[in-house]
């Protein structure tokens, strides 16, 4: 009896350690945190650390005018958490010293490490051909903008890709290139990383307009796999809308901003930051208005093409 009790206590203790959140680790800084190495990429410093033996990475943007990216990265990962499709991210305050935080006075983010490797680095993998970037400012014309026909076709390559496209639509992420997508061939799972080019545009309204054109074009047909991908995409958008009101997302936006150090009285809180946060706020509101319209057109396309697929089968 006594032994059983001790086993339960032992198991509870270790499962608590295993599930301790990234946030908790940040507050535990100094205890069992070891810096392994730091690499420099074009835009940031990436430091690999261990906390109680488990690996994490610390990311800090190099330029002072890019520091607000921590808020967008953390907010996107927070919203995506329940979908189990992205890494976990938390903010390390500008006030906090932390191993791997190169500039002591700027904020940084701490991330769980995505299994596998970026798709870009896996040249022999079929997924290295993915082109999932929903172009915005860099698109030459309407055809190239947002959710293209090519992205729709590629979205059907794997059951998790519609979820990734769905979060990118909801977060206004136009940076889903192969370096921002990890794939683990042993588990056949993707992990979305780097969501710091987000909340500054409404990709849902663009996708809605594009799908409307496709719906009205008699020459546009979708395969059964693509219709299935549309169903998953619609479910993902529905998940976001039912789990988070735009007002909740905005509250979390400011909570992360405060945690990073963008708050009155701190020199990081410049008029430009205030303006950027207001832009994200308005884009969140706009996206949450556009998303139901997008779901509506997705529904129409699904209905129309499910009928089309059924007729094609019955005629054969």
Interface ranges with Mg ion (CB under 5 A):
180, 194
- The number of C-alpha atoms within 13 Å of 199 and in the hemisphere containing its C-beta is 28
Subset of residues 261 to 290 that bind ligand ATP, contact rule: CB under 6 A: none
DSSP-derived pairing of the beta strands 44-51 and 181-184:
unpaired
Range in contact with ligand ATP (rule: CB under 6 A) among 6-14, 140-148, 192-200, 245-253: 192-200
Subset of residues 152 to 181 that bind ligand ATP, contact rule: CB under 6 A: 179-180
Helix axes 69-80, 271-315, angle to 10 degrees: 40
| Shortest Å, Cβ 205 to ligand ATP | 26
Residue 118 interface partner, choices ligand ATP, Mg ion, none, CB cut-off 5-8 Å depending on type? ligand ATP
Nearer to Mg ion, 69 or 151 (CB): 69
Contacts of 50 (CB under 8 A, 6+ apart): 32, 33, 34, 36, 56
Residue 111 interface partner, choices ligand ATP, Mg ion, none, CB cut-off 5-8 Å depending on type? ligand ATP
Tokens of 237: 């958008």
Nearer to ligand ATP, 101 or 234 (CB): 101
The CA distances from residue 190 to 87, 158, 251, 284, in Å, are: 10, 9, 29, 25
| Shortest Å, Cβ 116 to ligand ATP | 9
User: How many beta carbons lie within 10 A of that of residue 275, not counting itself?
Assistant: 9
Range in contact with ligand ATP (rule: CB under 6 A) among 38-46, 217-225, 251-259, 268-276: 38-46
- The number of C-alpha atoms within 13 Å of 62 and in the hemisphere containing its C-beta is 8
| Shortest Å, Cβ 42 to ligand ATP | 4
DSSP state of 98: -
DSSP state of 263: S
Enumerate binding residues for ligand ATP (CB under 6 A).
Answer: 41-44, 46, 57, 59, 87, 111, 113-114, 118, 179-180, 182, 193-194, 196
């Amino acid at each position: 009896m006594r032994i059983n009790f001790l086993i339960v206590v032992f198991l509870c203790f270790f499962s608590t350690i295993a599930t301790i959140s990234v946030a908790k680790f940040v507050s535990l800084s100094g205890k069992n945190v070891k810096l392994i190495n730091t690499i420099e990429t074009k835009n940031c410093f990436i430091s690999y650390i261990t906390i109680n033996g488990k690996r994490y990475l610390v990311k800090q943007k190099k330029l002072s005018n890019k520091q607000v990216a921590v808020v967008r990265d953390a907010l996107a990962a927070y919203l995506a958490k329940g979908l189990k499709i992205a890494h976990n991210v938390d903010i390390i305050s500008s006030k906090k010293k932390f191993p791997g935080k190169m500039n002591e006075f700027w904020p940084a983010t701490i991330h769980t490490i995505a299994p596998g490797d970026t798709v870009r680095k896996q040249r022999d993998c079929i997924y290295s051909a993915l082109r999932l970037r929903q172009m915005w400012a860099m698109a030459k014309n309407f055809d190239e903008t947002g959710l293209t026909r090519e992205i729709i076709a590629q979205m059907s390559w794997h059951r998790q890709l519609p979820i990734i496209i769905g979060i990118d639509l909801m977060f206004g992420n136009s940076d889903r290139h192969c370096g921002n997508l990890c794939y683990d061939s042993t588990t056949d799972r993707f992990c979305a990383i780097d969501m710091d080019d987000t909340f500054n545009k409404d990709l849902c309204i663009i996708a809605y307009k594009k799908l409307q054109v496709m719906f009205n074009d008699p020459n546009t047909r979708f395969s059964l796999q693509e219709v299935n991908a549309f169903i998953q995409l619609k479910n993902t958008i529905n998940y976001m809308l039912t789990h988070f009101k735009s007002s909740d997302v905005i509250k979390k936006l400011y909570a992360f901003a405060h945690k990073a150090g963008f708050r009155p009285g701190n020199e990081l809180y410049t008029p430009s930051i205030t303006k950027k946060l207001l832009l994200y706020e308005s884009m969140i509101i706009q996206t949450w208005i556009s998303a139901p319209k997008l779901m509506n057109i997705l529904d129409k396309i699904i209905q129309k093409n499910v009928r089309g697929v059924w007729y094609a089968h019955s005629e054969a």
